[in-house]
Homo-oligomer: A and B are copies of this chain.
Amino acid sequence: MDDTLDSSLRQPLSSSNRTRVRRNGTAVKFTLISLTFQFLLIVLFLVLTEYGDHSLPPQAVAAQARLTGSNKTTAGSEQPVNEVSIYYPMFQDVHVMIYVGFGFLMTFLKKYGFGAVGYNFFIAALMTQWGTIVTGCLNQIYGEGHDHIELSIQTLVTSEFAAAAVLITYGAVLGKVSRLQLLVIGILEIVFYSINEMIAIEFLKYADAGGSIIIHTFGAYFGLALSRVLYNQKSLDNPKEESVYHSDLFAMIGTIFLWMYWPSFNAALVAPDYVAQHRSIINTYYSLAAACVTTFALSPVFQRKGSKWRLSMVHVQNATLAGGVAVGTASNMSISPWGALLIGCCAGALSTVGYAFLTPFLTKYTKTHDTCGVNNLHGMPGILGGIAGAIAAAHADVNKYGYDGMFNLWSSRAPEKNSTEHMTLTNLGVKFDAGEGRTAKAQAGYQIAGLAVGLAIAIIGGIITGFIVRWKIFDPPTREQMYDDEDYWEVPHEEYSEDIEAGNVNNMEEKDDKL
């Protein structure tokens, strides 16, 4: 676009400028901090990362294997597996969910579309880099002894999963934080997220393929705790916290891309166990279908006015997705297709009821305002998903999964080294790595423990982060700046804002309609 356009846009700005110079230096800080952080990331990548084996020539892989004595020779063997075919299509689906899905889902606010899709874009692009480093470092400490963080398509997926948790948190405080606050929230949350993930992988060893606990529950309750700390009377009853007809349609772009690609989200990292991955796709698909139907069925009940039972776009945009969240942990388990449908129904109903009753209740009585209702979309369905996973784990046996499948899912259920069971299975010709010999019931206990630990770290992390970012130095927005792109983005036809400032609400609403 020509800059002549830009200059013509600036003219109305100069008048509004005089009246609204309230903050100073915010953007300088934002520019400096984000540039510095990006340069820091380049240095960290230089020092800490290298291409994974699948991006290196076989000779280099073999040479390194000789040096480190690791088991890399298999990766450099004669017939390399095409990892791109296995991981890339699902990675791209997850990628679409992060940038189009989350980004457009949040555009429902009439005056905050640029902030929704734009900040989502910025924060996701930054957090995937930061996530690569932080999760990579923690894996290094307890990991298999590579001398660098090795990058592969799986790394991209795990980095985007970390970013997803931050974006869920953003949903809770959408429109109520400055971009500087958001940047700080993201940087801190990734650290808490990675600690929780490390505990899951290294210590509790619970299964959570779709991240019901690790991503959704974590992101949601981190966000709610954060929102509670940031709470002040300003954020209530803001007339800008509304949608218009076309902003609801933009939000549907986000909803539907999230909904469609959710099976990839739950199944992406289940490969190369194709049996479990196939199951994960089917379970997620049917759970989402049931959640969608249940949401449409129940939504009008809560929006009725006399004989009019209307559908709510809030429910359709959000509760339909709860089926994907709730089936996450159990998606690669053998829960039967009808079990997936049942989970989807419960999740859709729980989420719809949450939007109807719980969100206003939380705002009013617990002072926890939740712009996108992430408690209903990610929080409660995530907990439901954690419980469903524990139930499935409690009923897992070798008839349903085979030894391979079961030990893939829960490595700790494999017999301990030198145990009688270990020898028996080895004699039967089963190949596996030694585990901890957990029973099904014990594994279910660890699943629940994982849920509890995740909730605790999320809430503590959210509170700590909240107390940090509410400092004035991070320029929290004023009431007028909330849910409004006006002061943060070059918005076409800025004369609108004059009316808003004049408090002429009728006039403002008419103008809004025009948008």
Contact = CB atoms under 8 A, between A and B. Distances in A.
Interface in A330-386: 334, 336-338, 341-342, 345, 355-356, 359-360, 363, 369-373
A467 interface: no
A429 interface: no
Interface in A71-128: 80, 82-86, 88-90, 92-93, 95-96, 99-100, 103-104, 107-108, 110, 113-114, 117-118, 121-122, 125-126, 128
A260 B313 contact: no
A131 to B, nearest CB: 11
A250 interface: yes
A241 B95 CA distance: 33
Nearest to A496: B513
A54 B246 contact: no
6 contacts: A1-B318, A1-B373, A22-B307, A50-B336, A113-B248, A118-B252
A485 to B, nearest CB: 8
Interface of chain A: mostly helix, strand, loop or mixed:
helix
Contacts of A92: 89, 93, 260-261, 264
B129 A2 contact: no
Interface stretch (A196-204, A298-306, A443-451, A458-466): A298-306
A13 B49 contact: no
Contact of A278 (B153, B259, B334): B153
Contacts of A39: 345
B24 A307 contact: yes
Interface in A292-324: 292-294, 296-298, 300-301, 303-314, 316, 318, 320
Nearest to A63: B399
Interface stretch (A28-36, A139-147, A210-218, A413-421): A28-36
Contacts of A342: 42
A338 to B, nearest CB: 4
A121 B292 contact: yes
A5 B274 contact: no
Contacts of A307: 21-26
Interface centre among A46, A56, A57, A267 (most CB of B within 10 A): A57
A445 B17 CA distance: 53
A296 B338 CA distance: 46
A84 to B, nearest CB: 5
Interface string A231-263: 000001101011111101110110011011100
Q: Which 3 A-B pairs have the closest CB atoms?
A: A27-B309, A57-B402, A125-B292
A360 to B, nearest CB: 4
B125 A288 contact: yes
A54 B341 contact: no
A153 B275 CA distance: 12
Interface in A183-212: none
Contacts of A279: 51, 55
Contacts of A274: 54, 80, 82-84
A236 B54 CA distance: 52
A277 interface: yes
Interface stretch (A387-395, A432-440, A486-494): A486-494
B113 A38 contact: no
Contacts of A243: 1, 5, 492
A468 interface: no
A14 B306 CA distance: 9
A509 interface: yes
B236 A372 contact: no
Contacts of A250: 246, 249
A313 B511 CA distance: 21
A45 B341 contact: yes
A442 interface: no
Contacts of A156: 281-282, 285
Contacts of A239: 8
A401 B236 CA distance: 59
Nearest to A90: B88
Contacts of A316: 118, 121
Given A26-B309, A259-B99, A5 B242 contact: yes
A331 B140 CA distance: 27
Nearest to A114: B313
A290 interface: yes
Nearest to A126: B293
